[in-house]
Chain A
């Protein structure tokens, strides 16, 4: 595997379900990110982890719970979601957070539908 991978690619869940999204980066990067992409809206940064430590939480509802056990893996735990949470969830990673030249590389995303 190369780059940034995400599983599952598609997920349909009910509002009472609990599920998790997984992201893995094979680039040796030090930072990982979760973004939400809804139709007709800019990408919304949700969480940032630098060296496994959460450094950003952009007022994300508590029904989204991130976990970063190491620099290569990032999870997004979902519970009691709402239909408006349906979106494409993108994971990204970068090598040198805080440096101007830092570039984020994205995974293919998980298309989430909440019924």
Chain B
């Protein structure tokens, strides 16, 4: 069965520190996609990145980087030089297309607080 685990419930860091958010997934599918979303206090989930199961290259976007390792079923997210605006809940998700629709499996989220 598909499952996404975010073991870190809450993390606090001081501004400018680097922080890594862990995501471990389970799936029997060989083809799937992984996602990260950010949920600021306003409530809206903001799409950050999509990664397919065949592409294990790390990706960097500004201060954000993602490390996908199929061997350990992990898709970790690192924020470099954190800022107060990074404070939010971050969700990792796994997509499992079926029939005519997509089933997304979300983790329980990691609440990140960046202290000024």
Contacts and interface: CB of A to CB of B under 8 A. Distances in A.
Given A42-B107, A42-B108, A106-B37, A98 B44 contact: no
Q: Tell me the interface secondary structure of chain A in the complex.
A: loop
B43 A102 contact: no
Interface in A54-109: 55-56, 88, 90, 92, 94, 97-109
Interface in B82-116: 91, 95, 97-109
A25 interface: no
Contacts of B33: 100-101
Is the interface on chain B under 10, 10 to 19, 20 to 34, or 35 or more residues?
20 to 34
Interface stretch (B11-19, B45-53, B69-77): B45-53
Nearest to B42: A108
A111 interface: yes
A66 B72 CA distance: 39
A48 interface: yes
A32 to B, nearest CB: 11
A56 B101 contact: yes
B64 interface: no
B4 to A, nearest CB: 8
Contacts of B43: 9, 88, 90, 108-109, 111
A100 B31 contact: yes
Contacts of A99: 97, 102
Q: Which of B46, B104, B106 has the most CB of A within 10 A?
A: B104
Contact of B100 (A88, A98, A103, A106): A98
B99 A55 contact: yes
A42 B101 contact: no
Contacts of B102: 31, 94, 97-99, 102, 104
> Closest 5 interchain pairs by CB?
A106-B45, A109-B43, A108-B44, A43-B106, A97-B101
